[in-house]
Structure 1
């Protein structure tokens, strides 16, 4: 490979890496439960369509020997607005994360708020049988 081609390849890689590090200003993020140190081979990625109001998130970790231990959720409305996302509490007194429901705030009169793409990554933990 010629020195010019190598230089162009390196430049392209640096530009791609820089773009990946810049956060989208039209996205909100929410992390619930354990999201650090998860087994790298035990997670599930999926996408939902949501709008202003509550959104039910299915548990995709319900396989034999697994349980849901954490979620990373993002919602974007590029280039119209930045929707807000917050967790739904199980009750007024229980502050444990409710993995099954979140609330999204995005006024319906703003373009794109009626069909928001919600990216979900669920982290699954291994369940061991009691001794």
Structure 2
């Protein structure tokens, strides 16, 4: 594909993602657990495969849920699969993004964690 054609495809993809009413065909999202008032948001650079997500809640707060969003624009839609591991159900996910697909070795995973505020007293 010529450089001009590549630029046009990328530009079309950017216009598609900029429309808030459309679902982005290059992104995958999953919500786990409960949403709480206290949120912690951070990004991780990951590749396809097993991904371990650190608990970024303050020390005295319990991690109760998290939202994950990962994109591979304009190449493919990675899929997020979840696992339940003992006491740490939010610690590990598997991102299915074929290694032969461009961009799968460098994905940005956005994580929003919901932390339970301990009772006062």
Same topology, TM > 0.5: yes
Q: How many residues align?
A: 104
Which residue in 2 is equivalent to 1:76?
71
Given that residues 85 and 91 in structure 2 are in contact (C-alpha distance below 8 angstroms), is that contact kept between their aligned partners in structure 1? Answer: no
Which residue in 1 is equivalent to 2:27?
27
Segments of structure 2 that go 5 or more residues without pairing to the other structure are 1-17
SS in 1 for 2:19: helix
Aligned equivalents of 1:81, 1:55: Cα separation in 2: 18
2:90 is equivalent to residue 99 of structure 1: yes
TM-score (norm 1): 0.72
Root mean square deviation of aligned Cα: 2.0
Aligned equivalents of 2:64, 2:47: Cα separation in 1: 25
Segments of structure 1 that go 5 or more residues without pairing to the other structure are 1-17
Which residue in 2 is equivalent to 1:119?
110
Larger radius of gyration: 1
Structure 1 runs of 4+ off > 6 angstroms?
none
